[in-house]
Structure 1
Amino acid sequence: MIQSIEQRLLSIGELARETGASVRSIRHYDEHALLTSVRATNGYRVFPVAAVTQVRQIQRMIATGFSLADIRSFPDCMRMIEGAGACPETSAAQRKRLASIERQIADLERRRARLLKTLADGAVPPLD
């Protein structure tokens, strides 16, 4: 019985290899309560196989611009299902993140336009 339980657990190195995440990132996710680990008899962290899905989802959400605090607040429908779409509970957070990204894009476009004008005119234009 103990053998079958141990077979369903992954070392942090195995989890890193399965997901492409660094061991350091996995520790960080675990410390922020985004993963569940237990200590094996040797004192090392081990993770259930489901952690592979969780790490992949965390990576996807980080790539979308969400912080670990944002991700921690999301329900299991977002964190536990690989490739999960939006859950109704997360729509507001996703809209807020999108608005933030759009503001950043607009700011970058303004900066680009000013720099192009500077290059064309040979002088820094006055502030708008």
Structure 2
Amino acid sequence: LNVYSVCCAVSLLEKYCSAGLSDVWAASSFKGSTCVHTCVPSTQRHLENHERWLQVAASVSAAVHLQGIALTGWQRYDHLSVLCELMPAALPSLAACLQTLILGQFSAEAQRHVTEGLGIPSVEVEDIG
């Protein structure tokens, strides 16, 4: 989601609510939704998407009951494609996205929880080397 998409998502959820569908879930990804041939997830890209979903959750009317945000991790684009962004390389992204949802943003505290918890110097796998 980008800023424009936040407004569209809020509008869409409001329309669903007016049609009688007030209990809804959102879904975002922590890996695998970038490109079919990507080997390492862009943690920053996924964090920004989760922060936008948090903006949507804060912007919808009280009539919309956003039940939660499901984190998805795409393994492949179709059954004939190779696996993408394998789970070991995606763990920093998953941990960072979870911290973002728990704390409401990816703060220095969230980054510290992830790097200390996983024993890594950065949440971006490419920076770990």
Return the TM-score normalized by structure 1.
Answer: 0.23
Query: With CA pairs under 8 Å and 6+ residues apart, which has the higher RCO, 1 or 2?
Result: 2
Return the TM-score normalized by structure 2.
Answer: 0.23
More strand by share: 2
Which protein has the larger Cα radius of gyration, Structure 1 or Structure 2? 1
